[in-house]
Structure 1
């Protein structure tokens, strides 16, 4: 079990790395990257119908569009640690942001559905690099709890803002292209600071490498904590992308307007803001995590049951319940740094948990589309989604144990 002096040693090792940059610069960098890592995926759901009509997109391509974020995050994220070893973590993140901005901006200029899908893949691949590398960047910079709080909050704020704003911007501009193009511009805004950080790192490469000094060796598959964290992250990510892609449509099929459905999706996502603000501190203190994991599963099953039985009666309640269950996501993100000592192991763990977890998550939205098309309604879909509360809960209880992945390898 981790001891207080272990944590003190971890912070002491991190402190010299943190001294090169002021906390304000670190916070600004984390804010700029974190708010960009979700809108490329979460902005599609509220205007999916308009995109389908505008591009003449069939149900198969639309299903692929909702499932592709998890798949791309998994496949591209698996390459992120190797990229960082060659160019540095800061440069890797800057490169990812540049690719993301290009893909998200170019996709709104095309009229061909397959090309739109391809450019979406390009944009998401850039975001995948940041998903994997930012936790390791934070671990090596110090101020881990504070910066992970900023990071987790930024992820939720970005996703929430995208679901809340995309449909109204689309309606005001009269085009879904304006609504989606906004997020490519936001990614471009982050480039100057991260480009400067990459140049600074290049001038002093010893300052910040993935492979720090004498990292523990071993395969992540041999760590029970890493495996359980991957299951927790994968199941919750599957729900996140099902919710990004399909929950607004479930609400719309129940007779709710597009803007109202987008607002409900934003409400669902916004619950995570409060959680992201406090969870890194809760995890650092190590109390009440098992009860928290059980509550995630209970509320997840309850939210989908409500969508099944009375989607338009109290839609805000189901959104709040699913939003609370979604706190499993910032929990799993915070645990990537909390369950590791060495920044190199943080990078390895992040490079294992996120790609594998997103690969598991990728099949969820795609299967939802197939099952819905086959059955003609949402009944079977919602029942199956509710049942996944079981593995989510079991994995959450396992990672609640205060162990370090470094020690299990």
Structure 2
């Protein structure tokens, strides 16, 4: 009888601990003077770190888009080289993003994200003053390397630390990312003018935001207990988590390439990334060539990006409540097609409407991140799926911005590039519907 009472008490204690740990991050080290206070402080610091990191994941790209014409003139770039420059982000995301899970297992995700923020800061500070196109590209690649590893690890961190709030935390992260994207697009030209009209300080100023993002991650640098985020099941018990015990040996090896859902999600991610980087790299130039002033063109790009602030919070929450995310994919795709049609027929006349529609369409990114968290059951599955979908997707997206630059230079207008953007939206909708089906990669890989 006594042993039965002991077992009951132990079961109740573990259940209550698991419920508490689903709401608060598990402390990385034992022996803290006050676990409850420590975990509450860690929760706030971790959320702050996620938000600041997300704010830094796009200004390196959109600030350049707002000043692309000035950078081209200053460095003597042709249209094709500028197209290559707009293809550098997905290339770096594909090459460096695939290393993120391995780095997280070795050093811990907090240390990797912290290093990523340092790389972003250094790259943004160096690139305007590197001298020449080659130095500019190299410094840009350094910043994008930091963005790449952080891109991949954010869904992993959310799944590991907030398993019962994947939708809401993905929304917070995506909303911050969209806000950082839009504020860089809107403020870069005015800031440049305020700093004397030279594009170099106008680009370098965004390094300050990266430096601020380093600080919240410093306490997590030595947090090796969280390194299990890439390996441990998201449903691990509180007892396992609090003692740092993982059971990777009990988990079968996940052959991610056997999953049709993983491939559909990777292609969907790649096509939405193609549309996003074409938009960030070229949309301001489309408006400027249509007669819109440079400041207004940057503001239009900012409107496109800022649409993601509210929608990036709403869409993941809606998506997690639906068994199938296909209808959301279709709505976003139709908005994109309507926006491209407007850019083709009346780029200046309906500029604000097209900016809004393309902003809605670009919210395929937070939807893709949400589906990464929903299409895998375990932390290991999310890590593999995130790395596979993002790395493969960014490889797919590399030719898009470059091809737009080549078509623009050789055709002398935006008709062919916009036709290409519209054509790519159709397969994006098809694979998005396939990726949105209610199934997991573990189930498909096992079959």
Same fold (TM over 0.5): yes
- The reply to whether residue 65 of structure 1 matches residue 88 of structure 2 is no
- The reply to whether residue 219 of structure 1 matches residue 255 of structure 2 is yes
Distance 1:239 1:60 in 2: 18
Q: Secondary structure at the match of 2:273?
A: helix
C-alpha deviations, 1:54-105, integer Å up to 9, x for none? 2223333322111111111111111111211211111111111111111111
Q: Which protein shows a greater Rg?
A: 2
Q: Secondary structure at the match of 2:206?
A: helix
- The reply to whether residue 387 of structure 1 matches residue 439 of structure 2 is no
Structure 2 unmatched ranges of 5 or more? 1-14, 28-38, 233-246
Equivalent residue for 1:369?
Answer: 405
Equivalent residue for 1:139?
Answer: 159
Q: Which moved more, 1:334-343 or 1:127-136?
A: 334-343
**Paired residues of 1:17 and 1:207 also in contact (CA < 8 A):** no
> Alignment partner for residue 87 of structure 1, among 107, 113, 120?
107
Q: Which moved more, 1:67-76 or 1:218-227?
A: 218-227
Q: Which moved more, 1:250-259 or 1:75-84?
A: 75-84
1:11-30 equivalence runs, <5 A: 15=22, 18-20=25-27, 21-22=39-40, 23-30=43-50
**Paired residues of 2:80 and 2:409 also in contact (CA < 8 A):** no
C-alpha deviations, 1:217-267, integer Å up to 9, x for none? 222221121111111111111111001111110000000011100111111
Q: Secondary structure at the match of 2:188?
A: helix
Distance 1:54 1:108 in 2: 10
Equivalent residue for 2:11?
Answer: none
Q: Which moved more, 1:36-45 or 1:210-219?
A: 210-219
> Alignment partner for residue 78 of structure 1, among 98, 102, 120?
98
Q: Which moved more, 1:22-31 or 1:384-393?
A: 22-31
Distance 1:376 1:38 in 2: 29
- The reply to whether residue 56 of structure 1 matches residue 76 of structure 2 is yes
Equivalent residue for 1:242?
Answer: 278
**Paired residues of 1:216 and 1:406 also in contact (CA < 8 A):** no
Equivalent residue for 2:206?
Answer: 183
* Aligned length, in residue pairs: 397
Equivalent residue for 2:444?
Answer: 408
**Paired residues of 1:235 and 1:360 also in contact (CA < 8 A):** yes
Q: Which moved more, 1:325-334 or 1:109-118?
A: 109-118
For residue 353 of structure 1, report the CA deviation from its aligned partner.
Answer: 0.6
Distance 1:216 1:246 in 2: 45
C-alpha deviations, 1:101-133, integer Å up to 9, x for none? 111111122222211111111111111010011
Structure 1 unmatched ranges of 5 or more? 1-7
Q: Which moved more, 1:331-340 or 1:18-27?
A: 18-27
Distance 2:23 2:296 in 1: 49
If the length of structure 2 is used for normalisation, what is the TM-score? Answer: 0.85
C-alpha deviations, 1:157-216, integer Å up to 9, x for none? 1111111111111122111122211222111111121121112x13xx367442223344
* Structural RMSD (CA): 1.9
Distance 2:95 2:116 in 1: 14
Distance 1:247 1:89 in 2: 34
Distance 2:264 2:309 in 1: 24
> Alignment partner for residue 195 of structure 1, among 209, 218, 242?
218
Distance 2:349 2:145 in 1: 39
- The reply to whether residue 347 of structure 1 matches residue 387 of structure 2 is no
C-alpha deviations, 1:317-375, integer Å up to 9, x for none? 11111111111111001111122221111111110011111111111110000111111
Distance 1:67 1:297 in 2: 22
Distance 1:14 1:177 in 2: 47
Distance 2:130 2:299 in 1: 28
C-alpha deviations, 1:14-48, integer Å up to 9, x for none? 72872433332221111011111111112111100
> Alignment partner for residue 121 of structure 1, among 115, 118, 141?
141
